[in-house]
Structure 1
Amino acid sequence: MSNFDPNAILRGAQLTFVGAHRALQNPGLFTTDHYRQAALAVCAGLAIRIILNIPIYFVKAFIWIISIFVNLDHETWDDTLIGGLDFISRSVLQIPFFLMMVMSSITPTLDNLFMDSLKWVDTTYVQKHKSDDPATLRAMYYPTLKMYSTHGEREKKEQRSLLDGVVLFLTKYGRRAAISLAVYLLTFLPGIGRFVLPAASFYTFNKAVGPVPAGIIFASGLIVPKHYMVQFLQTYFSSRSLMSRLLEPYFHRIRFTKQQKRVWFVDRSGVLFGFSAAFAVMVKVPLLGVLIYGIAEASTAYLITKITEPPPPPGAGGIAEKEFIESEVRWKNKHLFLNLPLDRLDEFNARMVGAGKVTKSEVPEVPRQKFT
């Protein structure tokens, strides 16, 4: 429960706004290259959205033809059918979010956007602490991460054809969409239908964040209207997928094993959900969603400086990287960070807790504060 408590979620939400504000102050975010890529992504997203909504357009056209011969002014089934299709498109199949995932795959500037934003975060940090003793400042993230190669990831992608990549992506999305649609349809079964969503949510949350949050969600699912429950669950799943995508530039350089990455995410699950939930909702906004995705990627650079420690320079034989990765699996300074007042977020990084420069006992005492 400590990984997914309200305090951690709220701190993650706070980082959403602080990170976005910091990212939008970066003049490099508004370069011609980023604008061009964003314009292409918006056009591609609009085209894909129209193609995927063709079945809905056919149903609406069919109903319109029926209305010529039959008076539907006093009928409600047509509005119910169209509303249900729109709900399935938006909240069950998550088509708007699917478009964002496609855009992240075909837009080559997201990695550069992350690194440029990380450079801006380092620059801003130095400016904020220019009057402090340099010996007390944290190490920089950008210069070191820039030294790490992403060649291995690019090599894997080059060996896999574009068609193979598209097929793999569509297969994974299709499987998730089919499961979501199946669960949603099972909710209409008489008798057991009302227990399907709560049971599915308990199973998912129990694996991800433990039995206590899962039990709370299960109990809520028994009394909350179904469409609200569907929207909540899909927002949770969307935020997890989005967060995984946003962190790809970091994990392409700092290469955790699959098991290490799973523990890394679980240990930070509350903060990551709080950070990504707002973005997961905003990226569904037609046309503007792609632009929001870019801001989310830029904001993730700020998030990284709060939930990780600066990596060491790549060492000979990868020994330094392996030791660093093993030390980063667990979030050692979580409780210090979660109890830090919002106006002292930058002070948290002013000293390197647990990284050899300053010990935990040397950190100034911070009054405990719950963000409720």
Structure 2
Amino acid sequence: MSSFEPNAIVRGAQLTVVGTLRALRNPQLFQHEHFRQAALAVVGGIVIQLIVQIPIIIIKLFIWMASWVSDLDRATWDDEVIGGLNFLSNSVLQVPFLLMTLMRYITPTLDDIFMLSLKWVDRTYIEKHETENPHHLRAMYYQNLASYPTKRGSGSKSKKPTTEALLAFFRRYARKVGMWVGIYALSLLPVVGRFVMPAASFYTVKKSIGTVPAAVIFGSGIILPKRYIVLFLHTYYASRSLMRELLDPYFSRIKFDKDQKRKWFRDREGVLFGFAFAFTVVLKTPFIGVLMYGIAQASTAYLVTKITDPPPAPEKSEGFAQSQVAWTNKHDFLQLSLDKLDKFNIKPEEAQQVSVDTGLAPSPGKKFS
């Protein structure tokens, strides 16, 4: 349980709160184009949700009409059908999350929000430590990270990477939908069906939390109503998917290979789950969830500064990705109090160099608003 221990999840939840409060202090955040596009996404979500609900309403109407000629009080198939339709709509298709994720591949708005917030995090860091020796402060994240080319830029040369990224997303989405539909269908089988959801939970979390805790979840899944284990599985998978998408602006610049990226996530999965959990719940809220996606993206900028090192200039980046695979000060960081979260960002041996034209270096006595 070294990566998914309870204090790692709690620390991730704490970073959610602190990161959100930091992001909301940024006066430029709500002036961003994202929130106009999010409003359009709300309208689009309503339309798509109505389209999804049409067959569900028709089937519910059919079941209601069937109750006129057949006694359904003792039957269970109608409850299973309605439950399956609600499961498909709320847990499988996840229309709001799908819309916001697609927006990432169509427009750079969410990437811009991440970089805007990263610059704000650097500014507030300097403000917080303005009375300290500037040579003892950490390097800035925004200045160097903004210099890295992204996998998806603008112009004709970037069309192929964007198309490939979209295809990769739809493949992941199709696999997830297929998996959820398959698991739910198997859970409807007589006798063995009651063990399907608990077994899926055991298999899902065994590598992350260990065999004994996974076995406890398996046993609980057999005893508790199926809706609880469905809620658990959905939250777990949705949090992982959300965190992957929120970190896309970072990984589109710092080039990790597949094995490095997998190990990077593995070493931080407890904190990442704790960070994404609250946002996963909020994003399921109709209409409000779509608007909150931008806040989640902004908060991720703060998270990155706590679980990674400041990136070097692009020309000095060779070997940097490999150096970030293992979170070297993880256990010490998890023990820090909230007011000491910057402790491991202070590096006395490194002089802080901040370009004047970035607006990040404060003059003596200057306070950032």
Q: Distance in 2 between matches of 1:247 and 1:188?
A: 36
Q: What secondary structure is seen at the aligned counterpart in 1 of 2:10? A: helix
Q: Percent identity?
A: 55
TM-score computed with the length of structure 1 as normaliser: 0.84
Change (3 A) 1:165 1:261: closer
Pair 1:266 & 2:266 matched = yes
Q: One-letter code of the match for 1:246? A: L
Contact 1:60 1:82 in 2 (8 A): yes
Residue correspondence of structure 1 range 293-308 to structure 2 within 5 A: 293-308=293-308
Change (3 A) 1:13 1:134: same
Pair 1:8 & 2:8 matched = yes
Deviations 1:103-133 (A, max 9, x none): 4433430000000000010101111111111
Contact 1:9 1:271 in 2 (8 A): yes
Q: One-letter code of the match for 2:293? A: Y
Pair 1:187 & 2:187 matched = yes
Q: One-letter code of the match for 2:347? A: M
Change (3 A) 1:174 1:59: same
Contact 1:12 1:272 in 2 (8 A): yes
Pair 1:344 & 2:340 matched = yes
**CA root-mean-square deviation:** 2.8
Contact 1:19 1:302 in 2 (8 A): yes
Instruction: Give the C-alpha shift of residue 38 in structure 1.
Output: 1.8
Change (3 A) 1:196 1:151: closer
Instruction: Give the C-alpha shift of residue 136 in structure 1.
Output: 1.4
Q: Distance in 1 between matches of 2:50 and 2:114?
A: 30
Instruction: Give the C-alpha shift of residue 33 in structure 1.
Output: 2.0
Contact 2:12 2:274 in 1 (8 A): yes
Change (3 A) 1:156 1:292: farther
2:329 alignment counterpart: 333
Contact 1:92 1:230 in 2 (8 A): no
1:247 alignment counterpart: 247
1:238 alignment counterpart: 238
Q: One-letter code of the match for 2:159? A: E
Change (3 A) 1:88 1:108: same
Instruction: Give the C-alpha shift of residue 175 in structure 1.
Output: 2.5
Instruction: Give the C-alpha shift of residue 270 in structure 1.
Output: 0.2
Q: Distance in 2 between matches of 1:230 and 1:76?
A: 22
TM-score computed with the length of structure 2 as normaliser: 0.85
Change (3 A) 1:161 1:262: closer
Contact 2:148 2:253 in 1 (8 A): yes
Contact 1:90 1:96 in 2 (8 A): no
Deviations 1:131-188 (A, max 9, x none): 11111111110011011111566677502686x8766544432222121111122123
Corresponding residue pairs, total? 349
2:281 alignment counterpart: 281
1:145 alignment counterpart: 145
Change (3 A) 1:168 1:261: closer
Q: Distance in 2 between matches of 1:206 and 1:153?
A: 38
Q: One-letter code of the match for 1:150? A: T
Q: Distance in 1 between matches of 2:99 and 2:71?
A: 34
Unaligned runs of 5+ in 2: 352-369
Instruction: Give the C-alpha shift of residue 213 in structure 1.
Output: 4.3
